[in-house]
Amino acid sequence: MEVNDVLVQQLADLARLEFNEQERAGIQHDLQRMITFVEKLNELDTTHVKPLLFLTENYNMFREDKVVPSITREEGLQNAPAASDQYFKVPKVIKK
């Protein structure tokens, strides 16, 4: 597959990007290198290679679900610049 100016322009339009001529040439070169690399990988014989589902030998490693102590509401609000008994007070940002 060859990367040409039309393909780069279509990708730029889809991504809503704008490039000058120098950037477009660089992107075209980079895309062509990527496609060449993928085509080279397609030449490998992978008939006896099992699909890789996980990057490690660990399968469904979950932590134990246990209750741990947390801070109280008062401790959470103590350093707030403005707070009520239960909530942070913030300036109004919606104008009518």
- pLDDT of the residue at 85: 83
- pLDDT of the residue at 59: 72
**Would residue 85 count as lying in a domain?**
no
Domains of the chain: total: 1
Range of the domain at 13: 5-41
Taking CA atoms, 6 is separated from 13, 51, 65, in Å, by 10, 35, 54
**Would residue 94 count as lying in a domain?**
no
User: Each residue's pLDDT tens digit in the chain (96 positions)?
Assistant: 888 999 999 999 999 999 999 999 999 999 999 999 999 988 989 889 888 777 777 777 788 888 989 998 888 888 888 888 888 888 888 877
DSSP state, 47? T
**Would residue 81 count as lying in a domain?**
no
**Would residue 11 count as lying in a domain?**
yes
Using DSSP's 3-state secondary structure scheme, residue 9 falls into helix
Report d(CA 80, CA 87) in Å as an integer: 10
- pLDDT of the residue at 40: 92
